[in-house]
Structure 1
Amino acid sequence: MGRPTTGRVRDRPIALNEKVSAQMSRMPRVRSRPEMLLRRELHSRGMRFRVNLATLPGRPDIAFTRARIAVFVDGCFWHMCPAHATMPKNNSEWWREKLLKNVERDRRKDAELNAMGWLVIHAWEHEDPQLVADEVQRRWLAQREDPSTGGALPR
């Protein structure tokens, strides 16, 4: 079978050039710098957690299993941050659909986690890790005192 004539391979558009392709392939899916800074801050506060817990919807970046809190550190590009999102000019329709699907998937996994009794916290990659850790710790302490106070924390 020959190469598709649509310019797409496995339903992905062909990169504009090798530099763009290499840049996109280097983007981390786990252990991003913002995630690691938050993890270090939480750990330094004595908070222990699981990382990328595969048994939960969305594989949360950080999961406090006893307190039932799932934390996601969202990249501004991939999750369409209202303050920093940009839309690529090359293959713009494909990217728009892709990024909107990411946001829809985020809302779906949040609903699944909420239905399981988990509190979901989202942090943007540009947020100060200490301030995010303050909020996570506040919610963590509240959950440990009263686990029935679950619910989704708005972005």
Structure 2
Amino acid sequence: MADIVDPKTRSKMMSGIKGKNTKPEIVIRQRLHARGYRFTLHRKDLPGSPDIVLPKYQAVVLINGCFWHGHECRLFKWPKTRPEFWRSKIEGNIRRDQQKLSDLKKMGWRVCLLWECEIKGAREEHLNEVIENISKWLSAEDSYLSIPHCRTQTISN
């Protein structure tokens, strides 16, 4: 299927996509804060400037956008235009993600990886379940938590 906008418009749209303080990040931050967790954001002294850093727990929460990080889910589709560029871009992001996870673990940080598809359009009950999983993980000794599966329930209008 061809793009419905011209290349210049598409370029402008793509360049306007935020890398920090995205809606999924804000949703998770608000819920963690409401549960009493205190954290810092985007610490530049850590590999990849993690989205949420919980120093008390030596833990970070990474919230990845499904498109930019190549998550094979309902929100990700390989672009039809400039496929070589996008494959190189997204595969590079995936490689950097793997290196970032490795570096964080070597530094002794515990890592929680969340995907946009777990948060976007989620029902209240599901978001509470995600936060409960993070809360349990923070209290445990596990070094890694991934919530990679996509939910099937979404908000219906």
TM-score (norm 1): 0.81
8 Å Cα contact 2:64-2:113 kept in structure 1: yes
**What's the counterpart of residue 60 of structure 1?**
50
Regions of 4+ moved over 4 Å: none
Deviation at 1:16, TM superposition (A): 5.2
Structure 1 or 2, whichever has the larger Rg, is 1
Deviation at 1:138, TM superposition (A): 0.9
Change (3 A) 1:100 1:16: farther
Q: Which amino acid aligns with 2:62?
A: F
Count of residue pairs the alignment pairs up: 135
Deviation at 1:126, TM superposition (A): 1.8
Offset from partner CA, 1:60-117 (integer Å, 9 cap, x none) = 1001012111111100100111213211111101110110110111111101111111
Q: Which amino acid aligns with 1:90?
A: T
TM-score (norm 2): 0.80
**What's the counterpart of residue 146 of structure 1?**
none
Flag structure 1 segments of 5+ consecutive residues without an equivalent. 1-14, 143-148
Within a 5 Å distance, the mapping from 1:110-125 to structure 2 comes to 110-125=101-116
Within a 5 Å distance, the mapping from 1:5-154 to structure 2 comes to 17-84=7-74, 85-128=76-119, 129-142=127-140, 149-154=141-146
Corresponding residue SS for 2:143:
coil
Q: Which amino acid aligns with 1:86?
A: K
Deviation at 1:150, TM superposition (A): 4.5
